[in-house]
Amino acid sequence: MGDSSLTSQRVLIIDSLLSYTRGIDRLDAEAVSAAFHPGAILHNYGPEPMVIEDFVEYALPSLRKRFVATQHRVSNIRVEIDGDHALVESYVLAFHVEDTDGEKKLHTFNGRYIDQFERKNDFWRIQKRQLRNDWSKVESISEEMSGSAVWEKSARDSSDPIYTQ
């Protein structure tokens, strides 16, 4: 596989990762699911491994109920392609804002996604994901940044501008 072909394959894999991050933050089941092959297995998202379909059914309503905002960022993405398979390590920094009766808390998670991608019908999707925690913390939000009251909030659904442009 030539360098330009490898580069284009890496871009497709990263696009799949970003579909997940957008989907999980906008609570978009279709975008989350698009990052995975049907039946993909997720490890360390609960006491037992689960298939992506069960994760989407459980996680999105849970995130909507518990947190007023989330933001998942991936970086330091390492892609190792071998034919129709790829091992992908991505660092993840995830922020979750909880508001319980006016008391805001910031839950911060820093870890890694270790993904096994497969290319099927020219689509790179995750077949297996392992989540690893490097560190996490919870802290109170005692005050917000000055000016934040006038900033328009992101929407956690299809009314967000990314879907309406």
* Domains along the chain with CATH numbers: 3-145 (3.10.450.50)
**Residue, of 38 and 148, whose pLDDT is higher:** 38
Q: Is pLDDT above 70 for 64?
A: yes
Which pLDDT value is given to residue 84?
Answer: 97
Q: pTM for this one?
A: 0.91
Q: Share the mean pLDDT of the chain.
A: 94
For residues 135-156, give the mean pLDDT: 84
Contact call for residues 110 and 100 (beta carbons, < 8 A): no
Where are the alpha helices (H) located in the chain, listed in sequence order?
A: 3-26, 29-34, 52-66, 161-164
